[in-house]
Amino acid sequence: MSNDLDTVFAALADPTRRSILAMLLEDDMAVTDVAEPFDMSLAAISKHLVILTKAGLISQEKRGRVKWCKLEPDALRDASVWMQGFGQFEPVNLDAFERFLEIELPASEDP
């Protein structure tokens, strides 16, 4: 389970990936629609999507000629259970958590 948690938390460490997950809370989206609000190439967004997919946070499927992304909400269950093991705490400050992960995780895991 530790490797799975590492993968999930590493995926969540990036603000672009967290934004993508927030967008997918609303509904499934085509990859091009996911990329639209970001000031980066479609290839860069695709790398983020690969990381989210490997972490199990999203799934991707091809519908006709369009690749769609879907949030997989159960993927955060293990991470949530792990965090609850620390007892009651204030809501997690994701920016501070991101800084912590950047220090703890090697830079070679970035896309």
Domain ranges of the chain: 2-80+93-103
The token pair at 32 is 């091009």
pLDDT digits (tens, 9 = 90+) for 72-81: 978 888 888 8
The answer, yes or no, to whether residue 109 has pLDDT greater than 60, is: no
Write down the mean pLDDT value for the chain.
86
Lowest mean pLDDT among 20-29, 62-71, 101-110: 101-110
Which residues are CB-contacts of 78 (< 8 A; sequence separation ≥ 6)? 1, 4, 5, 8
pLDDT digits (tens, 9 = 90+) for 44-58: 999 999 999 999 999
**2-80+93-103 to CATH, choices 1.10.10.10, 3.40.190.290, 3.40.50.720, 1.10.3720.10:** 1.10.10.10
Contact present, 7 and 50 (Cβ < 8 Å): no
Phi, psi torsion values for 39, nearest 5 degrees? -90, 65
